[in-house]
Chains A and B, each alone.
Chain A
Amino acid sequence: MKNKHIWGWPIAGYLFLGGLGGGMVVVTAIADLFLGSPAVMLWGALAGAILIAFGSGLLIFELGRPFQFWRVFSRERAILTVGAWLLSLCIVIGIVYASFLLWHGLEGLRMAVAWVCLFIGMGVIIYTGIFLGTMKARPFWNGPALPVLFLISSLSTGIAAQSLLARFLDVGSSSTLANSESFLSVADIILLVLEIIVVLLYVLIMWTSTTQSASHAAATWLKGSKKLAFWGGLVGMGLIVPLVLYLLGNSVASLVASICVLIGGLILRFLVVYTDDRTLLPGEAEFLAKLPNDDEEFLHAWEEPDHEAE
């Protein structure tokens, strides 16, 4: 009965997987277009498409009527409809892009597909942040910060996953891949520094917000119920630790760093989804405080077991 959060863990999981998958597709396309990376990097586009498909599955799982999910494609002006199309297109184009692992020689076509991947992947990364940012009912989300934060975090997790994938495929002996791996580390260092700046600015400025619920929500991150997840999980383990490890530069350190970046990205999405504070109407806080914690308790509170036995 006491509805703690509107969206549950599947949405946080989707925001992570969608951002991660979109990030991998974008990073693959950028590496292919501008850095001339080896074709083996294309596995990243396939992995990205699979992760996005998995995230979309979580989105459908969270629906009240999962089997009616196709209706989401039916309205053209809503952000979520655009997002649904972007997700579907990104899955398809990611697989098409990865299929260039099989045939060679079509360089021009591959470049064209890479450009399409770049734009659609960016769309997948950013649209969720735009959707949350336009919610005027949720002062903590409302504003331009979340699309930027999600963009940086998605690219950063995408790079981390890409370097994990390169390690897993175990083709580190070729010098071009070693080059692109060190490029990935440098790019992730830059993104981590940016993310530390953006996330701190976001929370600290929200803390001074004129809207009380936004300021209260930021306080729960900084020194309230979510302080451990924010300082320890996101800022500490998810941003500062991998930054230091990447700077150390050795192979094991950057392996651990990549894993830390992924965990940090997941924690960020959970923190955001579970901070859905709304400005309460007069008397609402007192009303909510009186409600029992779950439906079962509420529905059976009036029943007396003795009375039923009679």
Chain B
Amino acid sequence: MSRWAMVIDLRRCIGCGSCTIACQVGNKLPIGMFWNLVTTVGPTGKYPTLSYYNMPRPCFHCANPPCVSCCPTGASSQRQDGIVLVDKNKCIGCKACVVACPYGARTLNRELGIVQKCTFCEHFIGKGKEPYCVSTCHQRARIFGDLDNTKSEVFRLVYEENAVQLMPELGTDPHCYYIFPHRGRQ
């Protein structure tokens, strides 16, 4: 069985926003809808010890997704390979999952009246292609792969390079891992 996961190396990300645009164009999102924001943290500190980093944030495809358990129609579901999807035929746009997601990954598509989010480009899986945001990243800051495969790059990064989850205390077990840059002397 595979378990899809993403590692985002914040030491490499330069905050160009290519992944945001590639996602919007590839997935044909309406203008103003983001599945894949990049925010900037900082700059913090005082010259000459300034630092800042950029923070891309797709859906984390949690192992324990609060958005799935709260969905009253069964539109949000989790596949065997860990990917959390919204069924556009079943979603009624009640926004319970938007409230339940601790990471702000979900937004209402006003045109369709349903909630949507990053799908890890599930239509590419099994076809030897990577998600739009991964294949477009010229800094190779995003690594996508199978966490159950001990030979994969994501496996090595998660277990050997100290990649961390965001808000692990919530018990959601997000499957998007971050490698944070050194903060520098403050």
Contacts and interface: CB of A to CB of B under 8 A. Distances in A.
B39 A65 contact: no
Given A80-B72, A81-B72, A65 B113 contact: yes
Contacts of A169: none
B70 A80 contact: yes
Nearest to A78: B72
B43 to A, nearest CB: 11
Nearest to A276: B99
Contacts of B98: 6
A80 B71 CA distance: 8
A298 B32 contact: yes
A283 B172 CA distance: 21
Chain B interface, DSSP helix/strand/loop, else mixed: loop
Contacts of A84: 72
Interface stretch (B21-29, B100-108, B120-128): B100-108
Interface stretch (B85-93, B139-147, B154-162): B85-93
Nearest to A68: B92
A106 interface: no
B91 A65 contact: yes
A99 to B, nearest CB: 30
A284 B38 CA distance: 9
A192 B139 CA distance: 61
Contacts of A174: none
Number of contact residues on B: which range applies?
A: 35 or more
A136 interface: yes
A78 B92 contact: no
Interface string A54-80: 000000001111101101101101111
Contact of A80 (B32, B41, B96, B107): B96
B170 interface: yes
B4 to A, nearest CB: 21
Contacts of A131: 70, 96
A9 interface: no
A84 B73 CA distance: 11
A135 B41 CA distance: 27
Nearest to A298: B32
B175 interface: no
Contacts of A304: none
A138 B115 CA distance: 18
A63 B20 CA distance: 28
A71 B73 contact: yes
Given A84-B72, A287-B37, A137 B102 contact: yes
B32 A281 contact: no
B20 to A, nearest CB: 11
Nearest to A70: B92
A172 B83 CA distance: 63
Contact of A281 (B71, B103, B115): B103
Nearest to B111: A64
A247 interface: no
**Which of B66, B91, B92 is packed against the most chain A CB atoms within 10 Å?**
B92
B92 A71 contact: yes
30 contacts: A62-B94, A63-B92, A63-B93, A63-B94, A65-B91, A65-B93, A65-B113, A66-B92, A68-B92, A72-B92, A77-B69, A78-B69, A78-B70, A78-B71, A80-B70, A81-B72, A84-B72, A136-B66, A137-B102, A137-B103, A138-B99, A276-B99, A279-B102, A281-B55, A282-B41, A283-B40, A286-B39, A287-B37, A287-B39, A295-B32
- List the 7 shortest-distance A-B pairs measured between CB atoms, nearest first: A64-B93, A283-B39, A64-B113, A80-B72, A137-B102, A283-B41, A65-B113
Interface of B: 31-32, 37, 39-42, 54-55, 57, 66, 69-75, 90-96, 98-104, 107-110, 112-115, 166-167, 170-172
Given A80-B72, A283-B41, 8 more contacts: A64-B114, A72-B72, A136-B102, A136-B171, A137-B170, A281-B39, A283-B39, A287-B39
